[in-house]
Chain A
Amino acid sequence: GENVEQHPSTLSVQEGDSAVIKCTYSDSASNYFPWYKQELGKRPQLIIDIRSNVGEKKDQRIAVTLNKTAKHFSLHITETQPEDSAVYFCAAVNGDSNYQLIWGAGTKLIIKP
């Protein structure tokens, strides 16, 4: 079946540094790629998303890039802060269903003071 691979599984960065999380997907028909953040004990929430007709999208300190040819997309967080500590999930929409998301396994981001 279709799948999304996410790396690394754990990422530890110094406060103020940048963090990059990478995902690859297999479904050529995918056209929507969201990123969710799950803080400890809380529900996952959408933080940014990108569609296949766009190569990059930015929202303050976070940005997402997409390379459709290589089938990979990345989340970039600059000037990391303690509140960025969380588990981040990438996903790709299932091209057959148009509403089902295929999820990556998650990245635990640790911000060191």
Chain B
Amino acid sequence: DVKVTQSSRYLVKRTGEKVFLECVQDMDHENMFWYRQDPGLGLRLIYFSYDVKMKEKGDIPEGYSVSREKKERFSLILESASTNQTSMYLCASSLYTGTSRAYEQYFGPGTRLTVT
């Protein structure tokens, strides 16, 4: 069973603080993703990584950065948190082999971040 874990379920931070959200997967997946989920807007991709130290911007990267130093760990960093970054953050991972269901993304439980 694939397990994707996130460092916190709930987080409250103040405006201007540096925030780290961490995601760990235990299935040796190459691909990892950070999404932001807001009501009515679905899942919006912030950043993704297809290998260690490799990263690509998604649809809404502004205000965020990422780090992937180890294959199993993908961190999302808010350099200076702002109130408009209050949201649910979901991490996901996937294995790419070209075979059936290789695109399936496995999600973590989410981190609900509130910035005050």
Is B108's CB under 8 angstroms from A43's CB?
yes
Tell me whether A44 and B103 are in contact (CB under 8 A).
no
Q: Check B103–A34 contact: CB distance below 8 A.
A: yes
Min C-beta distance of A84 to chain B, whole Å: 19
| Stretch in A13-21, A73-81, A100-108 with 4+ CB within 8 Å of B | A100-108
The tally of residues in A whose CB lies under 8 Å from a CB in B reads 22
Q: Tell me which residues across on chain B come within 8 A of A106, comparing CB atoms.
A: 40, 42-43
Least CB distance, A92 to chain B, in whole angstroms: 10
Nearest-neighbour CB distance to chain B for A54, whole angstroms, equals: 11
Per-residue CB proximity of A1-30 to B under 8 Å, as 1/0? 100001001000000000000000000000
Instruction: Output the least CB separation between B78 and chain A (Å).
Output: 21
CA distance A98 to B101 in the complex (A): 12
Contact A99 to B107, CB < 8 A, known contacts A9-B40, A105-B41 = no
The residues of B that contact A101 with a CB separation of less than 8 Å are 103, 105
- Contacts A99-B31, A99-B94, A99-B96; is A45 near B42 (CB within 8 Å)? no
Q: Contacting A46 at CB < 8 Å: which of B45, B59, B104, B110?
A: B104
CB-CB under 8 A from B105, the residues of chain A are 46, 101
Min C-beta distance of B61 to chain A, whole Å: 13
A105 to B35, CA, bound (A): 13
The residue that B110 contacts in the complex, of A1, A43, A45, A49, with Cβ under 8 A, is A43
The one of A42, A45, A89 that contacts B43, using a Cβ cutoff of 8 Å: A89
B64 at the interface (CB under 8 A from A): no
* B104 and A34 contacting across the interface, CB-CB below 8 Å: yes
The residue in chain B whose Cβ has the minimal distance to the Cβ of A100 is B48
A-B pairs, top 8 by smallest CB distance, nearest first, are A105-B42, A43-B107, A103-B43, A106-B42, A99-B31, A99-B96, A103-B42, A44-B107
Listed in ascending order, the chain B residues whose CB lies under 8 Å from chain A are 30-31, 33, 40-45, 48, 50, 58-59, 90, 94, 96, 100-101, 103-105, 107-110
